[in-house]
Structure 1
Amino acid sequence: MRGQIVIAGVGNTRYGKHPDRDKIDLIVEAARTALADAGVSKDMVDGVFVKIANAAPSVLYGQKVSEALGLQPKIGCALDQGGAANVSLITYAALAIQAGMIDIALICYGDTARTGSRAVYHRPRGDDAVIGWYSTAAGYAMIHQAYRQRYQTPDEHFGIIAVTARGHGADNPDAHLRAPLSMDDYLQGSYVVEPLRRDDCCLVSDGGAAVVLMSAKRARELGHSRAVPILGLGQAQESWEVHLRSDLLRTKAADSADAAFQMAGIRREDVSFAQLYDCFTVTVLQTIEDYGLAPRGSAGARAMSDGIGTDGWLPLNTSGGLLSESGTPGLQLIIEAARQMRGEARLQVPSARFGLVSNQGGSMHTHATLILGEPQ
């Protein structure tokens, strides 16, 4: 599949609060922008792939979105893998295109988790809720604590992830939170679930996003010069709940990355930038290490010494990520990676050749990896 499928168009709404709008309305806006960016009419789309919304999920959601778009696609579906779903949907859409089942696919997501229901984030976790395991943050606090204890990690190594993301988000007019963060501010921040500070945790946002997929051959026929080729894809699932895992600091992200790098045929050191799923700061450190970009326990020190800005060792989450751009799960990272490869990002990484994206769902339950190349 390497290079045979391309991202031809991208689009997103402004992120933050949309109190008077429905999640499907946000999808329609993002889809309209993505289709215009791809230079195709909606009537050319015959595949609609939707990530299920966190706020008030519903049955037949793919069909509801298709109806709102005015489409009767050959394939219309919705997927729940948590935050891993968007890269996974791109995978399934790419396979459908390659199999000749569809011609052009729309992958989209919209949510009103900020102004709508937040129940998914603070539901009790079984019987363990009575001893404090009540929220998504509680599970990640366990992982954060395990990482800190095993590697004797200072708080600054988590803080550099938040500080950098907030700096990048401050330059993004579509970002939910455009407020720079200093290391002192981070260290003085209040705890949500100790040892997680507020700025270790991603945003809860409203917004919509969409990308358009087609074959490289179709893109050439349509005269696209900015279509971004998909070079590598990978998935792997942890499945077990956090408290059932034998090791809190080993996930299937490594297997997902291995599959993507093998398909792409590139080395880890070839990566020009990374858009890594940053639902919590510890997730980024662990993903860097699971992906083989740094030895175990060393990602934070490397980020502190060599930087993760656009001119750093590993340019990271250049539009702000989930910590600053939007807490909507994952599609914004793919869109930013595509813009970087097209040379159109607001904070452009110089001479980008290969872009790496991670998506992750649950408390590190699901994982998916995407590698993009230069437009041909």
Structure 2
Amino acid sequence: MRDLRGRTVVAGVAESDLGVTGLGSLDLAAQAAARALADAGLTTRDVDGLFTAVAGRGMAPLDVGEYLGIRPRYTDGTMVGGSSFVSHLHHAALALDAGACDVALIVYGSALRSEFGKLPAGPPEVPNYEAAYQPRSPASGYALAAARHMHEYGTTREQLAEVAVAARQWAAMNPKAYKRDPITVDDVLGARMVSTPLGALDCCLVTDGGGAVVMVRAERAADLPKPPVYVLGAGEAHWHRTISAMPDLTVTAATESAARAYAMAGVKAADIDVVQLYDAFTINTVLFLEDLGFCAKGEGGAFVSGGRIAPGGSLPVNTNGGGLSYCHPGMYGIFTIIESVRQLRGESADRQVEGARLALAHGNGGQLSSQVTAVLGSAATL
């Protein structure tokens, strides 16, 4: 494993407009890219490494490069679902460290709500041996995992509901969040059922949105207009594509991706100050907190109860409101990086976690399939 600890930094981050924008996917990507580059004190003329994935665009790097007027000497179009951008963070660190590029732009845009308006009932890639059961994918796959966790460990719907309530409490402090009105556990339990045992408030938002991350080598940190955020460790893993091929519905490959990221960073879960998880569904947060080492397997339901991951709790999780309340344009992973960086810079205003030095950003792709973990740190962690 190549040791990347502290060798590259995140120099700029930004979102596009979020919610219902009326813009196209490439417009949103461009908007986010321009804002992130400005945050880094750079322009598209400086970018020579392009990392991007856009659902439905098989040659997304070509589309995005043309639209932005970038002619990169290093390109990565890795597409492993919503975890792609945390994977890009890892790949960009490798490329920068190897000298394959000098300024890496990771960028995403999706007009999911404006162009489609709702979560699709079943993607075309559902294999024929699952199609006969007419799954409402992706919700049905995550519902299977939730049901199995409930059966095996006694996890309750009320505990899952606490995840949604905590996310909304964080979102209430984020002016960019799409949903900010308060909800209760009873509201979550009483919401329309989507795929048993997951109701509408257990499921992520459907919004437009884009995000961008700019990275450079650490030697340029002194020239940056904003405090540098160091990439300390990263790890990737995947065990399956379809939910029916998942070896154990209660254990994800995050167990491996986290171990690799922690080993590179030289930290453990207990050292992390703030956690940003891919919460497409409430069960995700429970599973990932277990698999990333914040609690033992089967204890996730109890762990998220009592406000532990909400504002004022002992472990700040998804401090922007997450995919459940902040935004979810179909692929959420880049927003875990953006919020991690803002927390480590001290830029999160009312939701700022005091003294945050270490952040974990975790991406999930497919149906609990691709798992990518990154550990980011302030200069004080070097």
Report the TM-score range of the alignment, normalised by the length of the smaller protein.
Answer: over 0.9
Alignment of 1:20-39 (within 5 A): 21-39=23-41
Match of 1:337 in 2: 340
Distance 1:350 1:312 in 2: 12
Q: C-alpha separation between the residues in 1 aligned to 2:130 and 2:43?
A: 50
Q: How big is the shift at 1:225?
A: 5.0
Partner of 1:141: 143
Q: Which residue of 1 aligns with 2:91?
A: 92
Cα distance in 1 for partners of 2:307, 2:189 equals: 21
Conserved? CA contact 1:51–1:79, under 8 Å: yes
Quote the offset at 1:208 in angstroms.
0.9
Matching residue of 1:76: 75
1:264-306 per-position Cα deviation (integer Å, ceiling 9, x unaligned): 1012211101001101111110101011110112122122136
Partner of 1:296, secondary structure, is: coil
Tell me, yes or no, if structure 1 residue 248 matches structure 2 residue 249.
yes
- Residue 6 of structure 2 aligns to a residue whose secondary structure is coil
Deviations 1:2-30 (A, max 9, x none): 011100001112321122x1111111111
- 1:246 and 1:48, CA in 2 relative to 1: closer, same or farther beyond 3 A? closer
Unmatched segments (≥5 aa) in structure 1: none
- Deviating 4+ runs (over 4 angstroms): 118-121
- What amino acid sits opposite 1:357 in the alignment? A
Partner of 1:65: 64
Residue matched to 1:367? 371
Question: Larger deviation: 126-135 or 309-318?
Answer: 126-135
Aligned pairs for 1:316-335 within 5 A: 316-328=317-329, 329-335=332-338
CA drift of 1:223 comes to 4.3
Mapping of residues 51-200 of structure 1, within 5 Å: 51-53=53-55, 57-117=56-116, 122-123=122-123, 125=126, 126-200=128-202
Give how far 1:122 is off. 2.3
Q: Deviations over 1:153-192 (max 9, x none)?
A: 1211101110010111122222222222111211211210
Return 292-301 or 222-231, whichever deviates more. Answer: 222-231
Query: Contact 1:10–1:212 at 8 Å: present in 2 too?
Result: yes
The whole-number CA distance in structure 1 between the counterparts of 2:197 and 2:276 is: 25
Which residue does 2:20 correspond to in 1? 17
Q: Report whether the alignment pairs 1:294 with 2:295.
A: yes
Aligned residues: CA RMSD: 1.6
- Contact in 2 for aligned 1:13/1:26 (Cα 8 Å): yes
Rounded to whole Å, the distance in 1 between the matches of 2:115 and 2:76 is 23
SS of structure 1 residue aligned to 2:36: helix
Q: Is the 8 A contact 1:276 1:317 kept in 2?
A: yes
| 1:303 matched residue in structure 2 | 304
C-alpha separation between the residues in 2 aligned to 1:306 and 1:70?
46
The verdict on how the C-alpha distance between 1:230 and 1:76 changes in structure 2, with shifts beyond 3 A counting, is same
Deviation at 1:308, TM superposition (A): 1.0
Please report the TM-score for the alignment, with normalisation by the length of structure 1. Answer: 0.95
Identity of aligned pairs, percent? 38
